[in-house]
Amino acid sequence: MLAKLFSGDFPRSRVLAALLLVILFSLACAPFLTTGARMLNVAATICIFIVLAASYDLLLGYTGIVSFAHTMFYGIGAYGVGLALNSIAANWWAVFAGVIAALLLSLALALVIGLFSLRVKAIFFAMITLAVASAFAVLASQLSDFTGGEDGRSFTVPEILHPDFRLFDAEVFGRVIDGKLITYYLVFCSALVLFLLMLRIVNSPFGRVLQAIRENDFRAEALGYRTAIYRTIGNCLAALIATLAGALMTLWLRYVGPATFLSFEVMTDVLLIVVIGGMGTLYGAVIGATLLILAQNYLHALMGQTSAALSGIPWLSMLFHPDRWLLWLGVLFVLSVYFFPSGIVGRLRRSARPA
């Protein structure tokens, strides 16, 4: 049963399993563990970035494809749902129509990009995706009548997801069951299902072909696998899942805009998550996303406290000034890549093997 759920791909390290359980438990109970809106926002962002980074890992870690268009698909999902809710009506039909339209657009784009460029050299594919993604981002900002331009669009979500909505009058475990909490569980459950689906895909016969292509595409071709087709299918799957992640994020934020969904920073975040967590493991996306999102949200505050504690010492308090938080984030990344070249998951699994 458990093997089926995890597709036979267990963490294979006690420390990793414990970490994953802590993350799963914290995310599952987040609304009841915290009261602040900020922490719930962090939890929802972690859920969505796990899906987004894991879908990117399908490409980078499992198939060995470097794509820069992943945030474009994420953005397509966000804009699809956001604009549908904004221009049709605040109901589930609009959400449904937006998701379907976004999935179709993503599929078409991924298919075209894949068929045109996955047959040739990897660098060419990377360049094409960069160009298409930049063009899409420019388009989204320029079509301001439709997309709201740089400002993006805020919109009303279906009633049940609205923060003012109350499911019960009474509180449950000391918390009002409101629309925000329902949205959180929609995000959490969707993320969990999508993650388990990806775990199944990478452990399916198809997933094994992707890994074979990553290892030696020449030989995979010689075994009768048409690698361009497999790469294209992988590219389309990753794009579709990123689209769903975007749709979830926009429902959570009740906002869609280019800076949040299409900027290159989102792409670098995803890259960092996959590399730090461990490429080609999927679980790496969970660890990486949790670390990065937590660091982005709390490193600033943590440094504020450290700086205040060191206020007597001139040099150190300067060094730990909250304004330097990006510097320290950078240092943390350099160190983690240096000490864990195969990512945190790779490192944990290696140290678990002799035991």
Partner 1 sequence: MANQNSTVPTTVATEPPVLSTHGMSIRFGGHVAVNNVSCEFRPGTLTAIVGPNGAGKTTYFNLISGQLTATSGSVRLYGEDITALGAAQRTRRGIGRAFQLTNLFPNLTVLENVRIAVQGKAGLGVNLLSMWSSHIELIEKAEHYLHRVGLLERRTEIAAVLPHGDKRKLEIAILLALEPDILMFDEPTAGMGVEEVPIILDLIRQIKAQGDKTILLVEHKMDVVRSLADRIIVLHNGYLVADGDPDEVMASPIVQEAYLGTGVAEHV
Interface residues with partner 1 (CB under 8 A)? 4, 7-8, 200-201, 203-209, 211-212, 215-216, 218-227, 230, 233, 237
Q: What are the tokens at 38?
A: 């900020």
Backbone dihedral angles phi then psi of residue 252, each to the nearest 5 degrees: -70, -45
DSSP secondary structure string for all residues of 205-248: HHHHHHHHHHH-HHHHHHTT--HHHHHHHHHHHHHHHHHHHHHH
157: left (phi over 0), alpha (psi -120 to 50) or beta: beta
Our measurement of the distance from residue 48's CA atom to the centroid of its chain's CA atoms, rounded to an integer in Å, reads 5
Shortest CB 223 distance to partner 1, Å: 5
User: Do 147 and 79 touch, CB atoms closer than 8 A?
Assistant: yes
H or E element at residue 72? helix 70-87
* Tally: H helices and E strands in the chain: 17, 4
Shortest CB 215 distance to partner 1, Å: 4
Instruction: Calculate ∠ Cα 329-330-334, nearest 5°.
Output: 120
Shortest CB 232 distance to partner 1, Å: 11
| Nearest to partner 1 of 44, 220 (CB atom) | 220
Shortest CB 186 distance to partner 1, Å: 23
| Nearest to partner 1 of 6, 333 (CB atom) | 6
| Nearest to partner 1 of 140, 239 (CB atom) | 239
Shortest CB 201 distance to partner 1, Å: 6
| Nearest to partner 1 of 68, 195 (CB atom) | 195
Shortest CB 209 distance to partner 1, Å: 5
| Nearest to partner 1 of 132, 209 (CB atom) | 209
| Nearest to partner 1 of 211, 297 (CB atom) | 211
H or E element at residue 56? helix 37-57
Q: What are the tokens at 256?
A: 């869609």
Shortest CB 203 distance to partner 1, Å: 6
Shortest CB 64 distance to partner 1, Å: 11
Q: What are the tokens at 222?
A: 């010689």
Those residues whose C-beta lies under 8 Å from the C-beta of residue 1, and which sit 6 or more positions away, are: none
3-state secondary structure of 177: strand
| Nearest to partner 1 of 122, 130 (CB atom) | 122
| Nearest to partner 1 of 58, 276 (CB atom) | 58
Cα dihedral across residues 226, 228, 231, 237: positive or negative: negative
